[in-house]
């Protein structure tokens, strides 16, 4: 991973994000409700969720949220628009209000944009709380 990407990840830690494991694929139906933006069906008919670029994902399990984890990220292998990438960043933050979530998204975009090949974020309601979801491919661009 480029050194600039490592610096960008340190900004996430400074803002209270906890790093979690970047699992490449998950069964679509799982007890934690984790999911990624891309869904596939295997030859055997099983539904899987594949780690990929996009803002339609869930990294946080409800139990984690109840126990206090409100911000987390993972970085690792994933599918980007141009194909597989070694450093797909997915970040999720639950905030007390929509304005705070939007401000956090804008701050992170400012920090990550110079490093990212692709970057997208959105704020929507998840489980009754404003939730920021951010995706960025930080493997390729060096600053």
Query: What is the pTM for the complete model shown?
Result: 0.88
How high is the pLDDT of residue 1? 64
How high is the pLDDT of residue 131? 96
Q: Are 71 and 15 in contact (CB under 8 A)?
A: yes
CB within 8 A of 102, min separation 6: which ones? 123, 132
Domain range summary for the chain, segments of one domain joined by +: 3-22+53-137
Across the range 113-142, mean pLDDT stands at 90
Whole-number mean pLDDT of the chain? 87
Residue 56 structure tokens = 């339609």
CA distance linking residue 25 with residue 49, whole number of Å? 6
How high is the pLDDT of residue 143? 42
Across the range 39-56, mean pLDDT stands at 89
pLDDT in tens, 108-117: 999 999 889 8
pLDDT at 3 over 80: no
């Amino acid at each position: 991973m480029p050194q600039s990407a490592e610096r960008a990840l340190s900004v996430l830690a400074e803002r209270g994000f906890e790093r979690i494991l970047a699992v490449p694929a998950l069964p679509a139906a799982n007890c934690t409700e984790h999911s990624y933006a891309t869904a596939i069906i295997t030859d055997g008919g099983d539904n899987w969720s594949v780690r990929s670029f996009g803002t339609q994902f869930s990294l946080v399990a409800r139990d984690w949220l109840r126990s206090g984890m409100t911000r987390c990220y993972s970085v690792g292998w994933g599918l980007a628009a141009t194909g597989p990438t070694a450093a797909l960043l997915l970040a999720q933050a639950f905030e007390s209000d929509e304005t705070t979530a939007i401000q956090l998204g804008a701050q992170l975009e400012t920090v990550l944009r110079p490093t990212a090949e692709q970057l997208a974020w959105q704020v929507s309601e998840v489980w009754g709380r404003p939730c920021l979801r951010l995706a960025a491919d930080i493997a390729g661009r060096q600053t």
